[in-house]
Amino acid sequence: MIALHGVTFGFTGVTPLVTDFSFAAAPGEVLALVGPSGCGKSTLLRLAAGLLAPQAGRVERGLGATAMVFQAPNLLPWRTVAENVALPLELGGHADPAAVAQAVAEVGLEAVADRLPHALSGGMAMRVSLARALVTAPSLLLLDEPFAALDALTRTRVRELFQARWRARGSTVLLVTHDVDEAVLLADRVLVLGGRPLSVVTERRVELPRPRSRHGASLGALAAELEAALG
Amino acid sequence: MARFGPAAVAAALGLVVWAALASRLPEALLPGPAAVAQAAWARGPELLGAALMTGGCALLGLVISLLLGVLVAVGFLRWRALELALYPWALLIQTLPVVAVAPLLVVWLGYGRPVSVAATVLVCFFPLLTALHVGLRAATPAQVELFSLLGAGFWTTLLRLRAPAALPQVFAGLRTAAGLCVVGAVVGEFVGSNGVPPSLGSMVLRAARSADTATSFAAIGAASGLAVLFFGLVRWLEDRAIGVWAGRS
């Protein structure tokens, strides 16, 4: 689980991004934070990750590992695919080649496990990034617009992979996106954010059956409703 | 072959122009390529010994500069106050004319190799420090965040992220320093070498004093050859260390 309780945060000299802001995601829930670019969604994610410290309030994380997938794949160019995936385990002091091989296989990259990142396509690099986040079986997974830089076809495939495999693992997922369709496709609950300081404009539980299709009529209607709230 | 072809043609043209100019001037003023080659052949063992002496000092100075640079750059990264206090003064080292400082090095260190090594450190330290300073900050903020999220402390992040990410910058600095280190060593020898054992700097001076310009040219050529050798060595190491992932192979 993850919960922010009355969090205030701002960068020096500008209006605070968030003031007395609270939200929580239950264990195993996929919570999407949707808002326009630059509204402070990624800052909320960094507060949740502990990369930024709130100036007031507190952040509560459940037990277990936290993993994050960034907007860019963020791979280390001198390490192979398998070595990049193994990084969290190595830094944690418990190398596990079997877990690495399984994570690489889950994203369908066994054939390129020994390649360096420069030899990968953008979609493949992002899949490596997802595998690296999941190799530790994190209890909290933070996704910072991980599909935004992918081409349409790759984006669809990676989203399907997310729905089919990783949602079943039971991690609590916090997904930051500016794409309402993506939020409705993947999340159990959507918070639409806006304003400065940031506030929740509207909140909707997505009670559509899985696996979901981007082209489903119910999904489209809910997405349109949230899009309208987003303005 | 295609890569080295144009350089070989340019060298051949340069030799022709040099020979043509030398044929119209007295040898004491400008010896031709043949006279220089003859002088190099005649003094081969002495030239080889001098090149080994100068090359050894240059290489030692380069290694000391690199180690010092690593120490200082890591200190700057670890303690911001140290960087603010000392980095401007590091720049001062670069502005020091090594020719003017070299006589002082003799006063402090006496005649011999230490002067040559110290002069090399004076010219190589700053380019290497600058390369290390920039290189250790070359990792992206997202990569640093990733390491932070994974619980890596300063030293783990330094060794597993910042140091490898710094390699392209460090090798760029080393390529610059590879040429400079021979200049530093030779300048040190101009003032700090008494010719025993012979060094390229002392050979150039002694030959020039006796109007043996061909030998001076041979010694200068050997110094250039050393710099090219060091540069090539750095490129060879660079290609093997980072050539593939930095996209140079």
**Minimum CA–CA partner of A83 in chain B:** B160
Which tokens hold the place of B95?
A: 């502005």
Q: How far is B142 from chain A (nearest CA, A)?
A: 7
pLDDT score of A227? 83
B151 contacts A92 by C-beta, under 8 angstroms: yes
User: How much is the mean pLDDT over chain A?
Assistant: 89
A41-54 per-position pLDDT tens digit: 889 999 999 999 99
Q: How far is A147 from chain B (nearest CA, A)?
A: 16
**Residue range A68-88: mean pLDDT, rounded:** 94
β-pairing, A66-69 vs A56-61, is: unpaired
Query: Please, which residues bridge with residue B116 across strands?
Result: none
Cβ contacts of B147 on chain A, cutoff 8 Å: 91
A188 contacts A206 by C-beta, under 8 angstroms: yes
- List % helix, strand, coil for chain B (3-state, nearest 5): 80, 0, 20
**Residue range A181-210: mean pLDDT, rounded:** 89
Partner-chain residue, chosen from A51, A78, A116, that has the shortest CB–CB distance to B149: A51
**Residue range A136-162: mean pLDDT, rounded:** 85
Residues A103, A85: Cα–Cα separation, whole Å: 8
* Rg of chain B (C-alpha set): 22
**Minimum CA–CA partner of B161 in chain A:** A76
A67 contacts A88 by C-beta, under 8 angstroms: yes
Which tokens hold the place of A215?
A: 């082209």
Residue contact A76–B143, C-beta within 8 A: yes
Best of B239, B245, B248, B249 to substitute, by most chain A Cβ atoms within 10 angstroms, is B245
Res A101 pLDDT > 90: yes
**Residue range A94-103: mean pLDDT, rounded:** 93
Of A70, A191, A201, A206, nearest to A142 by C-alpha is A70
3-state per-residue secondary structure call for A149-214: CCCHHHHHHHHHHHHHHHHHHCCEEEEEECCHHHHHHHCCEEEEEECCCCEEEEEEECCCCCCCCC
Amino acid B233 reads L
**Residue range A73-98: mean pLDDT, rounded:** 94
pLDDT score of B249? 41
pLDDT score of B232? 95
Q: How confident is the model at residue B1 (pLDDT cuts 50, 70, 90)?
A: low
Owner of token pair 């420069």: A118
Res A230 pLDDT > 80: no
**Residue range B216-233: mean pLDDT, rounded:** 94
More confident of the two residues B100 and A169 = B100
Which stretch of A18-22, A64-68, A219-223, B18-22 has the lowest confidence by average pLDDT? A219-223
pLDDT score of A104? 93
**Residue range A11-37: mean pLDDT, rounded:** 89
Residue contact B149–A74, C-beta within 8 A: no
Partner-chain residue, chosen from B142, B245, B247, that has the shortest CB–CB distance to A74: B142
Residues A212, A162: Cα–Cα separation, whole Å: 11
Partner-chain residue, chosen from B149, B152, B245, that has the shortest CB–CB distance to A49: B149
**Residue range A61-86: mean pLDDT, rounded:** 92
pLDDT score of A46? 93
Which stretch of A210-219, B45-54, B117-126, B208-217 has the lowest confidence by average pLDDT? A210-219
pLDDT score of B247? 64
Residue contact B164–A78, C-beta within 8 A: yes
Residues A195, B14: Cα–Cα separation, whole Å: 70
pLDDT score of A131? 92
Q: How confident is the model at residue B90 (pLDDT cuts 50, 70, 90)?
A: confident
Partner-chain residue, chosen from B149, B160, B245, that has the shortest CB–CB distance to A77: B245
Residue contact B150–A91, C-beta within 8 A: yes
Best of A76, A94, A130, A134 to substitute, by most chain B Cβ atoms within 10 angstroms, is A76
pLDDT score of B2? 67
Q: How confident is the model at residue A191 (pLDDT cuts 50, 70, 90)?
A: very high
A173 contacts A69 by C-beta, under 8 angstroms: no
Tell me the count of A-B CB pairs closer than 8 A. Answer: 48
Q: How far is B156 from chain A (nearest CA, A)?
A: 8
Amino acid B130 reads T
**Residue range A6-28: mean pLDDT, rounded:** 89
**Residue range B119-126: mean pLDDT, rounded:** 94
Cβ contacts of A67 on chain B, cutoff 8 Å: 149
pTM for the model stands at 0.85
B134-185 per-position pLDDT tens digit: 999 999 999 999 999 999 999 999 999 999 999 999 999 999 999 999 999 9
pLDDT score of A226? 85
